[in-house]
Amino acid sequence: MRIAFLVAPEGVEQVELTEPWQAVIDAGGTPRLVSTRSGEIQAFNHLDKAGTFPVDETVGDASVDDYDGLVLPGGVANPDFLRMNGKAVAFAKSFFETGRPVAAICHAPWTLVEADVLRGRELTSWPSLRTDIRNAGGTWVDEQVVVCGKGPNTLVTSRKPDDLKAFCEAAVDEFSGGAGG
């Protein structure tokens, strides 16, 4: 299981990157950091700078065919930067077009709003995205984790860092073929 983690050069919420990353490793998978620029990304702990992480591949060089799933970590700035980058939006959208599972937490669904892939889907997020999700044709619910669909084209979403345990379990289950669900 090879999983892409799509993040902007700065602004990702560190714990929303590192905990799902470790969950993929613990499940025997290979996580890869994909960003809009090469080098390193700057993570944050809310508004304070946290660690830096090396980029494995730029979104311009990445192919959906090389991955079994996609994780979109949150942070307020991260998805806002991503949604302004056409290649990042197209990369995220390609997972839906090819039926691969996607997991997004906190503010990350903003990138999916821009990709126009939420119509008819039920999902959750940080509460401030509720109107954006509804305007994009999705149904927003206030739940710890929401798994919309089973098998190909599954979307796993959660609201915030407090939901990470449930988010990681559901995402890894879907990336592994949905055996536990």
pTM score? 0.97
Q: How far is residue 77's CA from residue 106's CA, in Å, rounded to a whole number?
A: 11
46 catalytic, yes or no? no
- Inter-CA distances, 132 with 1, 11, 27, 77, 125, Å: 32, 20, 33, 16, 10
Instruction: Quote the pLDDT of residue 150.
Output: 77
Mean pLDDT by 10 residues, the chain (181 residues): 98 98 98 98 96 98 98 97 98 96 98 97 98 98 95 91 98 82 41
| DSSP letter (8 states) at residue 160 | S
Where does 107-169 show beta strands of DSSP type E?
122-123, 139-140, 145-148, 155-158
pLDDT tens string 55-94: 999 999 999 999 999 999 999 999 999 999 999 999 999 9
Planar angle of CA 79, 146, 138, nearest 5 degrees: 65
Selected catalytic residue, list 46, 107, 148, 168? 107
Active site residue 106: yes
